[in-house]
Amino acid sequence: MSAKLQKVAVFGHDEVRLSGNSGCDYVIIVRVLRDKLVSRIAPVYGKFGRCLSPLYIGALPSMGSGWSHRDAGSLGCYAWWFTVDVQLAILELISMIASMITRRLAPRLIHLLDRSPAVALLGPRQVGKTTLALEIGEGRPSLYLDLEADADRARLSEPALYLASHADELVILDEVHRMPDIFQTLRGLIDRGRRIGRRTGRFLLLGSASMDLLHQSGESLAGRIAYLELAPIDILEAGADQAARLWVRGGFPESLLAATDADSLRWRLDFIRTYLERDIPQFGTRIAAEALRRLWTMLAHHQSGLLNAADFARSLGVDGKTVASYLDLLVDLLLVRRLPPWHANVGKRLVKSPKIYVRDSGLIHALLGLRDQEAILGHPIAGASWEGFVLETLIGAAPPGTEPSFYRTSAGAEIDLLLALPNGRVRAIEIKRSLAPKVEKGFHLACEDLRPERKIIVYPGTERFPLSHGIEVMDLATAARELSSL
């Protein structure tokens, strides 16, 4: 290829200038639209200035020929079709825009770095931890080390000596589980720094799983480290009109922003295979990739169901303890959630088993071979998949310290999601896939037992309206926005 990209500012607009191999120059103009995306190029989101808006990418040729255009109709815009080198450059532009998606966790991460000597940023691979860390690092003196790279690990052959020479910088250590012995060194450096007034913003540790970081750093860095989890992109970051796309593809950036559904599915299948064959063995876990994939697929089929380890064990031909260890691994890798039952004593016979969710909806659909929204809607998993998608979004939007659970009794009382907020108040949330949601008797019974502060139904529509008995019906973006503002 080689159309080259150069960002320029012309007349107050954000533009990217393309120089093609053919000698033709093109100006790619990013246009903010109010309601619809009209380009055949994959719709994406990006931040230009302070605005997080839908983007339309069009191009105007400044010279040359070999191009044509079509009227896009109602919005009076044009969709342009280009030669290969320009198409490739547009894909590069899309990648640039994707890197500018604003992550809601960024302010909290900055806040913790300004108040703690070390922060651990946890999240699955490819969720955007490195991109976020590098963006934070641009705002202050920093050093980035990828501990999966031989050259960077070689620099840390004498870690205390090397890191001491960068005492005035934020040191970002990516995939820190690859050097578990470094935590003892970090403790010494942090304590030494405290004695001379360097108390905050020393180390940002990135990890693709909770287990090694939490176990190792918990032993060595107690009282010196704060933890944050970066989840996949959610509806508050992508925008309400991207809800269907998020549900189908999931929130991993490469999957969400792929040019086509087929490209997105291919990325997710590669992601699953890489986790099973390469990533999990790096954590020192000896589990047959095929056995773990079978369990992962079974969990996808069992989405939102109660955990019954004995059933899984029989299907896999292993014992219950083995299933428990496999499940623990997927939970530690931040790929599966065990949602606990409500634990307060309400004088009822409560279900005691947790519910199981594959956390990213796109991975559920990939594990089940569901290629697009039509395939998903025609599959029995659609309702459970939507429930998990909503649940993960709301838990991620809730304020720190919120305790999520579900409620179910032997008498049939049930609530899909209970959020016990840090102020002690409880929200009861029922999740419906229907555009005309109806409330079952079990929800009313459960609310009589618990008397939550608010009763909410989340559905895939766009209007907000009340029902009887103080129940509110709202879309996912509104429910998430309300929680994030608390």
66-116 pLDDT, tens digit each: 333 332 222 223 333 344 444 454 455 545 555 557 899 999 999 999 999
Q: Delimit the domains of the chain by residue range.
A: 4-98, 106-229, 235-484
Residue 451 tokens, joined: 């008397």
What is the pLDDT confidence band of residue 19, given thresholds at 50, 70 and 90? Answer: very low
CATH hierarchy code of domain 106-229? 3.40.50.300
pLDDT-derived band at 17 (thresholds 50, 70, 90) equals very low
Q: What average pLDDT does the segment 291-308 reach?
A: 95
Measured between its terminal Cα atoms, the distance across the chain in Å is 48
Vertex 81 angle, CA 77 and 86, to 5° = 115
Considering only residues 411 and 217, tell me which one the structure prediction assigns the higher pLDDT: 411
pLDDT confidence of 218, banded at 50, 70, 90?
low
Cα dihedral 118/123/126/130 (nearest 10): -10
The type of residue at 131 is: T
The reported pLDDT for the residue numbered 216 is 57
Strand 118-122 with 142-146, pairing: unpaired
Residue with tokens 């926005």: 481
Q: SS3 sequence, the chain?
A: CCCEEEEEEECCEEEEEEECCCCCEEEEEEEECCCCCCCCCCCCEEEECCEEEEEEEEEEECCCCCCEEEECCCCCCEEEECCHHHHHHHHHHHHHHHCCCCCCCHHHHHHHHCCCCEEEEECCCCCCHHHHHHHHHCCCCEEEEECCCHHHHHHCCCHHHHHHCCCCCEEEEECHHHCCCHHHHHHHHHHHHHHCCCCCCCEEEEECCHHHHHHHHHHHCCCCEEEEECCCCCHHHHCHHHHHHHHHHCCCHHHHCCCCHHHHHHHHHHHHHHHHHHHHHHCCCCCCHHHHHHHHHHHHHCCCCECCHHHHHHHHCCCHHHHHHHHHHHHHCCCEEEECECCCCCCCCECCCCEEEECCHHHHHHHCCCCCHHHHHCCCCHHHHHHHHHHHHHHHHCCCCCEEEEEEECCCCEEEEEEECCCCCEEEEEECCCCCCCCCHHHHHHHHHHCCCEEEEEECCCCCEECHHHEEEEEHHHHHHHHHCC
Neighbour order of strands in the sheet with 13-19: 4-10, 13-19, 25-32, 51-61, 45-48
Paired tokens of 271 = 């992601």
Contact 308, 403 (CB under 8 A): no
Residue 251 · residue 360 · CB < 8 Å: yes
Name residue 55's amino acid: L
Comparing C-alpha atoms, which of 357, 342, 352 is closest to residue 451? 342
Asked if residue 56 lies in contact with residue 35, where contact means CB atoms within 8 angstroms, the answer is no
pLDDT tens figures, 26-56: 333 333 322 223 333 333 333 322 232 333 3
**More confidently predicted of 48 and 400:** 400
Q: What is the mean pLDDT of the chain?
A: 81
Q: How far is residue 90's CA from residue 235's CA, in Å, rounded to a whole number?
A: 25
Q: Give yes or no for residue 161 having a pLDDT over 70.
A: yes
Give the pLDDT band (50/70/90) at residue 274.
very high
Q: Read off the pLDDT band of 349 (50, 70, 90).
A: confident
Distance separating alpha carbons of residues 381 and 375, to the nearest angstrom:
10
Q: What CATH number matches the domain at 235-484, 1.10.150.530, 1.10.760.10, 3.30.565.10, 1.10.10.10?
A: 1.10.10.10
Per the confidence metrics, is the pTM higher than 0.75? yes
**How many whole angstroms separate alpha carbon 173 and alpha carbon 196?**
23
Tokens read off for 412: 């049939």
Q: How confident is the model at residue 215 (pLDDT cuts 50, 70, 90)?
A: low
pLDDT band at 278; cut points 50, 70, 90: confident
Residue 405: band (very low, low, confident or very high) from pLDDT cuts 50, 70, 90: very high
What would the two tokens of residue 163 be?
Answer: 């890191």
Q: Residue 209's pLDDT band (boundaries 50, 70, 90)?
A: confident
Confidence at 189, pLDDT banded by 50, 70, 90 = very high
For residues 230 and 462, what is the distance between their CA atoms, to the nearest angstrom?
27
What does the pLDDT look like over 407-441, one tens digit per residue? 999 889 999 999 999 999 999 999 999 999 999 99
